[in-house]
Structure 1
Amino acid sequence: MTRYRFYTATSLDGFLADEHDSLDWLLSQPTGEESILPYDAFVAEVGAIITGRTTYDWVLEHDGTVDGAWVYTQPTFLFTHRPPEPAREGVTAVSGDPAAHRAAIEEAADGKDVWIVGGGDLAAECARAGMLDEVFVSIAPVTLGAGRPLMGGQLDLELLAHGTNGALLEARYRVLGARG
Protein backbone atom coordinates (compact mmCIF):
# COMPACT_ATOMS: atom_id res chain seq x y z
CA MET A 1 0.00 0.00 0.00
CA THR A 2 1.28 3.43 -0.93
CA ARG A 3 2.36 5.61 1.99
CA TYR A 4 2.40 9.40 1.81
CA ARG A 5 5.38 10.77 3.72
CA PHE A 6 6.42 14.34 4.49
CA TYR A 7 10.23 14.22 4.92
CA THR A 8 11.44 17.70 5.82
CA ALA A 9 13.34 19.96 8.20
CA THR A 10 12.25 22.82 10.41
CA SER A 11 13.69 25.49 12.65
CA LEU A 12 13.05 25.06 16.36
CA ASP A 13 10.24 27.63 16.11
CA GLY A 14 8.52 25.75 13.29
CA PHE A 15 9.58 27.27 9.97
CA LEU A 16 10.61 25.41 6.80
CA ALA A 17 12.23 28.48 5.27
CA ASP A 18 12.89 32.02 6.39
CA GLU A 19 10.90 35.03 5.18
CA HIS A 20 13.07 35.15 2.03
CA ASP A 21 12.53 31.44 1.28
CA SER A 22 16.16 30.79 2.22
CA LEU A 23 17.42 27.53 3.71
CA ASP A 24 20.85 28.89 4.64
CA TRP A 25 19.96 28.36 8.31
CA LEU A 26 19.52 24.63 7.60
CA LEU A 27 22.36 24.08 5.14
CA SER A 28 24.85 25.50 7.65
CA GLN A 29 23.98 22.88 10.30
CA PRO A 30 26.50 20.11 10.92
CA THR A 31 25.17 16.62 10.25
CA GLY A 32 26.60 13.25 11.16
CA GLU A 33 26.60 9.70 9.91
CA GLU A 34 23.78 8.51 12.18
CA SER A 35 20.09 9.01 11.39
CA ILE A 36 16.88 7.22 12.30
CA LEU A 37 15.82 7.48 8.64
CA PRO A 38 18.85 7.97 6.39
CA TYR A 39 18.04 9.88 3.21
CA ASP A 40 19.34 7.15 0.88
CA ALA A 41 17.19 4.48 2.55
CA PHE A 42 14.18 6.81 2.52
CA VAL A 43 14.46 7.83 -1.13
CA ALA A 44 14.93 4.18 -2.22
CA GLU A 45 11.33 3.61 -1.02
CA VAL A 46 9.95 6.59 -3.00
CA GLY A 47 8.10 5.92 -6.25
CA ALA A 48 6.62 9.39 -6.84
CA ILE A 49 7.04 12.92 -5.58
CA ILE A 50 4.57 15.72 -5.03
CA THR A 51 5.74 19.28 -4.55
CA GLY A 52 4.45 22.82 -4.47
CA ARG A 53 5.56 25.58 -6.80
CA THR A 54 7.67 27.52 -4.28
CA THR A 55 9.66 24.39 -3.38
CA TYR A 56 10.00 23.41 -7.05
CA ASP A 57 11.33 26.85 -8.00
CA TRP A 58 13.74 26.84 -5.02
CA VAL A 59 15.16 23.44 -5.98
CA LEU A 60 15.68 24.59 -9.58
CA GLU A 61 17.33 27.83 -8.43
CA HIS A 62 19.73 25.90 -6.24
CA ASP A 63 21.07 23.53 -8.87
CA GLY A 64 18.08 21.21 -8.90
CA THR A 65 18.91 19.92 -12.35
CA VAL A 66 21.21 17.29 -13.71
CA ASP A 67 22.22 18.27 -17.26
CA GLY A 68 19.06 20.41 -17.44
CA ALA A 69 16.74 17.61 -16.26
CA TRP A 70 14.74 17.68 -13.01
CA VAL A 71 17.00 16.45 -10.21
CA TYR A 72 14.67 13.67 -9.01
CA THR A 73 14.25 10.56 -11.15
CA GLN A 74 10.83 9.67 -9.72
CA PRO A 75 7.72 10.97 -11.47
CA THR A 76 6.90 14.35 -9.93
CA PHE A 77 3.52 16.03 -9.56
CA LEU A 78 3.92 19.79 -9.31
CA PHE A 79 0.95 21.50 -7.67
CA THR A 80 0.80 24.92 -9.27
CA HIS A 81 -1.51 27.45 -10.87
CA ARG A 82 0.99 28.22 -13.63
CA PRO A 83 2.88 25.66 -15.71
CA PRO A 84 6.66 25.64 -15.31
CA GLU A 85 8.82 27.17 -18.02
CA PRO A 86 10.53 25.25 -19.42
CA ALA A 87 8.70 22.00 -18.79
CA ARG A 88 10.96 19.31 -17.28
CA GLU A 89 10.74 15.65 -18.25
CA GLY A 90 9.07 13.61 -15.53
CA VAL A 91 7.28 16.65 -14.02
CA THR A 92 3.50 16.87 -14.41
CA ALA A 93 1.86 20.17 -13.49
CA VAL A 94 -1.48 19.76 -11.70
CA SER A 95 -3.74 22.01 -9.64
CA GLY A 96 -6.57 21.73 -7.19
CA ASP A 97 -7.28 19.27 -4.41
CA PRO A 98 -4.60 16.56 -4.03
CA ALA A 99 -7.37 13.93 -3.72
CA ALA A 100 -8.37 14.65 -7.32
CA HIS A 101 -4.94 13.41 -8.44
CA ARG A 102 -4.57 10.52 -6.00
CA ALA A 103 -5.14 7.72 -8.53
CA ALA A 104 -2.55 9.13 -10.95
CA ILE A 105 -0.02 9.75 -8.16
CA GLU A 106 -0.38 6.21 -6.81
CA GLU A 107 -0.20 4.70 -10.29
CA ALA A 108 3.05 6.60 -10.88
CA ALA A 109 4.40 5.45 -7.49
CA ASP A 110 3.88 1.84 -8.60
CA GLY A 111 3.42 0.45 -5.09
CA LYS A 112 6.16 2.56 -3.53
CA ASP A 113 5.86 5.59 -1.25
CA VAL A 114 4.97 9.15 -2.21
CA TRP A 115 7.27 11.87 -0.90
CA ILE A 116 5.69 15.22 -0.19
CA VAL A 117 8.80 17.29 -0.86
CA GLY A 118 7.20 20.59 0.04
CA GLY A 119 5.94 22.72 1.30
CA GLY A 120 4.01 22.91 4.50
CA ASP A 121 0.79 24.17 2.89
CA LEU A 122 0.79 21.26 0.44
CA ALA A 123 1.48 18.77 3.24
CA ALA A 124 -1.49 20.20 5.16
CA GLU A 125 -3.72 19.91 2.07
CA CYS A 126 -2.61 16.29 1.68
CA ALA A 127 -3.40 15.63 5.35
CA ARG A 128 -6.91 17.07 4.92
CA ALA A 129 -7.35 14.78 1.89
CA GLY A 130 -6.28 11.71 3.90
CA MET A 131 -3.01 11.56 1.96
CA LEU A 132 -0.45 11.94 4.75
CA ASP A 133 0.66 8.86 6.68
CA GLU A 134 3.99 9.90 8.17
CA VAL A 135 5.92 13.03 9.02
CA PHE A 136 9.69 12.82 9.37
CA VAL A 137 11.18 16.08 10.56
CA SER A 138 14.72 17.16 11.35
CA ILE A 139 14.69 20.03 13.82
CA ALA A 140 17.56 22.50 13.58
CA PRO A 141 18.89 24.32 16.64
CA VAL A 142 17.98 27.76 15.30
CA THR A 143 14.97 30.08 15.54
CA LEU A 144 13.86 32.26 12.64
CA GLY A 145 11.00 34.28 14.09
CA ALA A 146 9.15 34.28 10.75
CA GLY A 147 8.99 32.42 7.47
CA ARG A 148 7.19 29.48 5.89
CA PRO A 149 5.42 27.41 8.59
CA LEU A 150 6.16 23.71 8.96
CA MET A 151 2.51 22.85 8.36
CA GLY A 152 -0.89 24.47 8.66
CA GLY A 153 -3.87 22.82 10.30
CA GLN A 154 -4.32 20.67 13.34
CA LEU A 155 -3.21 17.04 13.38
CA ASP A 156 -2.81 14.36 16.01
CA LEU A 157 0.48 12.49 15.62
CA GLU A 158 2.05 9.44 17.25
CA LEU A 159 5.80 9.44 17.82
CA LEU A 160 7.36 6.38 16.16
CA ALA A 161 11.07 7.14 16.59
CA HIS A 162 13.48 9.88 17.58
CA GLY A 163 17.19 10.46 17.39
CA THR A 164 19.89 12.86 16.34
CA ASN A 165 21.93 13.55 13.24
CA GLY A 166 24.79 15.91 14.08
CA ALA A 167 23.16 19.10 15.39
CA LEU A 168 19.68 18.01 14.23
CA LEU A 169 17.03 16.41 16.39
CA GLU A 170 15.01 13.89 14.33
CA ALA A 171 11.47 12.72 14.92
CA ARG A 172 9.30 10.33 12.92
CA TYR A 173 5.53 10.43 13.44
CA ARG A 174 2.49 8.50 12.26
CA VAL A 175 -0.41 10.78 11.31
CA LEU A 176 -3.45 9.76 13.33
CA GLY A 177 -5.82 12.30 11.79
CA ALA A 178 -7.22 15.79 12.10
CA ARG A 179 -7.73 17.18 15.59
CA GLY A 180 -11.25 17.77 16.79
Structure 2
Amino acid sequence: MAAATMSLDGYIATADNGIGHLFDWYDVGPVTVPTVTPGLTFHLTETSAGYWQRWTSQLGALVCGRVLFDVTDGWNGRHTMDVPVVVVTHRRPDDWIAAHPDAPFTFVTDGIRAAVEQAQALAGDRIVAVAAGTVATQCLDLGLLDEVAVDLVPVVLGGGRPFFGELRHRDVLLGDPTTCIRAERVTHLVFPVTQPPR
Protein backbone atom coordinates (compact mmCIF):
# COMPACT_ATOMS: atom_id res chain seq x y z
CA MET A 1 0.00 0.00 0.00
CA ALA A 2 1.19 3.51 -0.83
CA ALA A 3 -0.07 6.08 1.66
CA ALA A 4 0.29 9.85 1.83
CA THR A 5 -1.35 13.08 2.86
CA MET A 6 -1.86 14.99 -0.40
CA SER A 7 -2.97 18.42 -1.55
CA LEU A 8 -5.78 18.84 -4.06
CA ASP A 9 -3.20 19.41 -6.78
CA GLY A 10 -1.34 16.19 -6.03
CA TYR A 11 1.59 17.24 -3.83
CA ILE A 12 2.83 15.61 -0.62
CA ALA A 13 5.38 18.31 0.26
CA THR A 14 6.72 21.61 -0.99
CA ALA A 15 9.84 21.63 -3.15
CA ASP A 16 12.01 22.17 -0.05
CA ASN A 17 10.23 19.32 1.81
CA GLY A 18 8.03 21.65 3.84
CA ILE A 19 4.46 20.64 4.63
CA GLY A 20 2.53 23.93 4.63
CA HIS A 21 -1.03 23.17 5.73
CA LEU A 22 -0.94 19.51 4.67
CA PHE A 23 -0.94 18.15 8.22
CA ASP A 24 -3.35 20.58 9.85
CA TRP A 25 -5.84 17.70 10.20
CA TYR A 26 -3.52 16.08 12.75
CA ASP A 27 -4.33 18.83 15.25
CA VAL A 28 -8.02 19.79 14.86
CA GLY A 29 -9.84 17.36 17.13
CA PRO A 30 -10.45 16.27 20.71
CA VAL A 31 -9.01 12.74 20.47
CA THR A 32 -5.44 12.56 21.75
CA VAL A 33 -3.34 10.05 19.81
CA PRO A 34 0.11 9.62 21.35
CA THR A 35 3.08 8.41 19.32
CA VAL A 36 6.38 6.84 20.33
CA THR A 37 8.15 10.06 19.33
CA PRO A 38 8.75 12.25 22.41
CA GLY A 39 6.81 15.48 22.16
CA LEU A 40 4.70 14.37 19.19
CA THR A 41 1.01 13.83 19.94
CA PHE A 42 -1.83 14.08 17.42
CA HIS A 43 -5.21 15.62 18.23
CA LEU A 44 -7.61 14.09 15.73
CA THR A 45 -11.33 14.26 15.22
CA GLU A 46 -13.19 11.12 16.25
CA THR A 47 -13.65 10.25 12.58
CA SER A 48 -9.97 10.61 11.69
CA ALA A 49 -8.87 8.88 14.89
CA GLY A 50 -10.98 5.83 14.05
CA TYR A 51 -9.54 5.66 10.55
CA TRP A 52 -5.99 6.21 11.82
CA GLN A 53 -6.22 3.52 14.50
CA ARG A 54 -7.69 0.93 12.10
CA TRP A 55 -4.95 1.61 9.56
CA THR A 56 -1.97 1.73 11.92
CA SER A 57 -3.11 -1.38 13.83
CA GLN A 58 -2.59 -3.38 10.62
CA LEU A 59 0.82 -1.89 9.75
CA GLY A 60 3.81 -4.23 9.90
CA ALA A 61 6.62 -2.37 8.13
CA LEU A 62 7.37 0.79 6.17
CA VAL A 63 9.46 1.28 3.03
CA CYS A 64 10.82 4.78 2.38
CA GLY A 65 13.44 6.45 0.25
CA ARG A 66 16.66 8.09 1.29
CA VAL A 67 15.30 11.64 0.96
CA LEU A 68 12.55 11.04 3.54
CA PHE A 69 15.00 9.23 5.78
CA ASP A 70 17.43 12.16 5.62
CA VAL A 71 14.74 14.85 6.10
CA THR A 72 13.53 13.12 9.29
CA ASP A 73 17.03 12.08 10.39
CA GLY A 74 15.68 8.55 10.50
CA TRP A 75 13.07 9.56 13.09
CA ASN A 76 15.95 9.41 15.61
CA GLY A 77 16.05 5.64 15.27
CA ARG A 78 12.39 4.83 15.91
CA HIS A 79 9.59 5.57 13.48
CA THR A 80 6.57 7.44 14.84
CA MET A 81 4.36 4.41 14.13
CA ASP A 82 6.84 2.08 15.86
CA VAL A 83 7.35 -0.34 12.97
CA PRO A 84 10.49 -1.61 11.23
CA VAL A 85 11.64 0.65 8.39
CA VAL A 86 13.32 -0.44 5.16
CA VAL A 87 15.20 2.38 3.44
CA VAL A 88 15.97 2.26 -0.28
CA THR A 89 19.33 3.91 -0.80
CA HIS A 90 22.40 3.92 -3.01
CA ARG A 91 24.69 4.18 0.01
CA ARG A 92 24.31 2.94 3.58
CA PRO A 93 24.54 5.73 6.19
CA ASP A 94 27.22 4.00 8.25
CA ASP A 95 27.70 6.88 10.71
CA TRP A 96 23.95 6.98 11.43
CA ILE A 97 23.83 3.21 11.84
CA ALA A 98 26.72 3.33 14.32
CA ALA A 99 24.94 6.07 16.29
CA HIS A 100 21.65 4.08 16.38
CA PRO A 101 22.71 0.44 16.89
CA ASP A 102 19.30 -0.71 18.14
CA ALA A 103 17.21 1.03 15.46
CA PRO A 104 14.93 -1.40 13.56
CA PHE A 105 16.08 -0.05 10.19
CA THR A 106 17.24 -2.04 7.17
CA PHE A 107 19.12 -0.32 4.34
CA VAL A 108 18.69 -1.88 0.91
CA THR A 109 21.03 -0.94 -1.93
CA ASP A 110 19.77 -3.34 -4.61
CA GLY A 111 16.51 -1.69 -5.56
CA ILE A 112 12.88 -1.19 -4.66
CA ARG A 113 11.74 -4.75 -5.34
CA ALA A 114 14.31 -6.13 -2.89
CA ALA A 115 13.27 -3.50 -0.33
CA VAL A 116 9.60 -4.46 -0.56
CA GLU A 117 10.48 -8.15 -0.24
CA GLN A 118 12.50 -7.47 2.91
CA ALA A 119 9.71 -5.32 4.34
CA GLN A 120 7.16 -8.08 3.68
CA ALA A 121 9.39 -10.59 5.46
CA LEU A 122 9.52 -8.24 8.47
CA ALA A 123 5.78 -7.54 8.37
CA GLY A 124 4.59 -11.13 8.06
CA ASP A 125 0.85 -11.07 7.39
CA ARG A 126 0.55 -7.38 8.22
CA ILE A 127 0.50 -4.44 5.79
CA VAL A 128 3.62 -3.02 4.19
CA ALA A 129 3.27 0.71 3.51
CA VAL A 130 5.46 2.66 1.12
CA ALA A 131 6.03 6.33 1.79
CA ALA A 132 7.00 9.29 -0.33
CA GLY A 133 6.57 9.94 -4.00
CA THR A 134 9.66 8.43 -5.60
CA VAL A 135 9.24 5.10 -3.83
CA ALA A 136 5.47 5.04 -4.47
CA THR A 137 6.02 5.76 -8.17
CA GLN A 138 8.61 2.99 -8.51
CA CYS A 139 6.33 0.51 -6.73
CA LEU A 140 3.37 1.44 -8.93
CA ASP A 141 5.52 1.05 -12.06
CA LEU A 142 6.64 -2.41 -10.96
CA GLY A 143 3.16 -3.62 -10.04
CA LEU A 144 4.05 -3.87 -6.34
CA LEU A 145 1.05 -1.93 -4.99
CA ASP A 146 -2.36 -3.35 -4.21
CA GLU A 147 -3.80 -0.14 -2.72
CA VAL A 148 -3.27 3.61 -2.74
CA ALA A 149 -4.37 5.48 0.38
CA VAL A 150 -4.76 9.25 0.17
CA ASP A 151 -5.52 11.66 2.99
CA LEU A 152 -6.82 14.41 0.72
CA VAL A 153 -6.46 17.89 2.18
CA PRO A 154 -8.32 20.98 0.91
CA VAL A 155 -5.23 23.01 0.08
CA VAL A 156 -3.53 23.84 -3.23
CA LEU A 157 0.26 23.97 -2.92
CA GLY A 158 0.88 25.09 -6.49
CA GLY A 159 4.02 22.97 -6.81
CA GLY A 160 6.36 20.74 -4.89
CA ARG A 161 6.90 17.01 -4.54
CA PRO A 162 4.10 14.99 -6.18
CA PHE A 163 2.68 11.81 -4.69
CA PHE A 164 3.28 10.07 -8.00
CA GLY A 165 5.88 11.27 -10.45
CA GLU A 166 6.26 10.36 -14.07
CA LEU A 167 5.40 6.73 -14.68
CA ARG A 168 6.92 4.48 -17.32
CA HIS A 169 3.50 2.87 -17.67
CA ARG A 170 0.55 5.12 -18.40
CA ASP A 171 -3.01 4.81 -17.15
CA VAL A 172 -2.56 2.49 -14.20
CA LEU A 173 -6.17 1.84 -13.27
CA LEU A 174 -7.47 2.17 -9.73
CA GLY A 175 -10.89 0.93 -8.67
CA ASP A 176 -13.63 2.81 -6.91
CA PRO A 177 -12.59 3.72 -3.37
CA THR A 178 -13.07 1.00 -0.79
CA THR A 179 -12.82 3.72 1.87
CA CYS A 180 -14.20 7.26 1.59
CA ILE A 181 -14.40 9.04 4.93
CA ARG A 182 -15.00 12.76 5.22
CA ALA A 183 -13.52 14.42 8.29
CA GLU A 184 -12.51 17.93 9.30
CA ARG A 185 -9.74 19.27 7.02
CA VAL A 186 -9.27 15.88 5.31
CA THR A 187 -10.99 13.16 3.31
CA HIS A 188 -9.60 9.66 3.79
CA LEU A 189 -9.62 7.60 0.59
CA VAL A 190 -8.35 4.10 -0.21
CA PHE A 191 -8.28 2.87 -3.82
CA PRO A 192 -7.52 -0.69 -4.93
CA VAL A 193 -5.07 -1.05 -7.81
CA THR A 194 -7.23 -2.95 -10.28
CA GLN A 195 -4.95 -3.08 -13.29
CA PRO A 196 -1.26 -2.98 -12.39
CA PRO A 197 1.37 -2.31 -15.05
CA ARG A 198 2.59 -5.23 -17.15
TM-score bracket for this pair, using the shorter chain length = 0.7 to 0.9
Distance 1:161 1:103, change over 3 A: closer
Instruction: Kindly indicate which of the two structures has a greater share of residues assigned to strand.
Output: 1
Distance 1:46 1:28, change over 3 A: closer
Q: Deviations over 1:87-136 (max 9, x none)?
A: 241111113432234432221111111011x2111011112222111111
The equivalent residue for 2:89 is: 80
Measure, in 2, the Cα distance between the counterparts of 1:174 and 1:36: 22
CA contact (8 A) 1:73 1:90 kept: no
Select 1:22's aligned residue among 18, 21, 27.
Answer: 18
The equivalent residue for 2:59 is: 46
Calculate the aligned-residue CA RMSD, in Å: 2.3
Q: How big is the shift at 1:146?
A: 0.9
CA contact (8 A) 1:50 1:114 kept: yes
CA contact (8 A) 1:51 1:76 kept: yes
CA contact (8 A) 1:36 1:163 kept: no
SS at the partner of 2:72? helix
CA contact (8 A) 1:36 1:162 kept: no
Larger radius of gyration: 2
Structure 2: which 5+ residue stretches go unaligned? 29-43
CA contact (8 A) 2:88 2:115 kept: no
Q: How big is the shift at 1:74?
A: 1.9
State the structure with bigger RCO (CA 8 A, min sep 6), 1 or 2: 1
TM-score normalised to structure 2 length:
0.76
Structure 1: which 5+ residue stretches go unaligned? none
Distance 1:96 1:25, change over 3 A: farther
Report the more deviating stretch, 38-47 or 81-90. Answer: 81-90
> When the two structures are aligned, how many residues end up with a matched partner?
170
SS at the partner of 1:145? coil
The equivalent residue for 1:121 is: 134
Distance 1:177 1:162, change over 3 A: same
One-letter code of the match for 1:164? R
The equivalent residue for 1:100 is: 114
Measure, in 1, the Cα distance between the counterparts of 2:178 and 2:49: 10
Q: Does 1:12 align with 2:8?
A: yes
Aligned residues with identical type, % of pairs: 25
SS at the partner of 1:78? strand
TM-score normalised to structure 1 length:
0.83
One-letter code of the match for 1:149? P
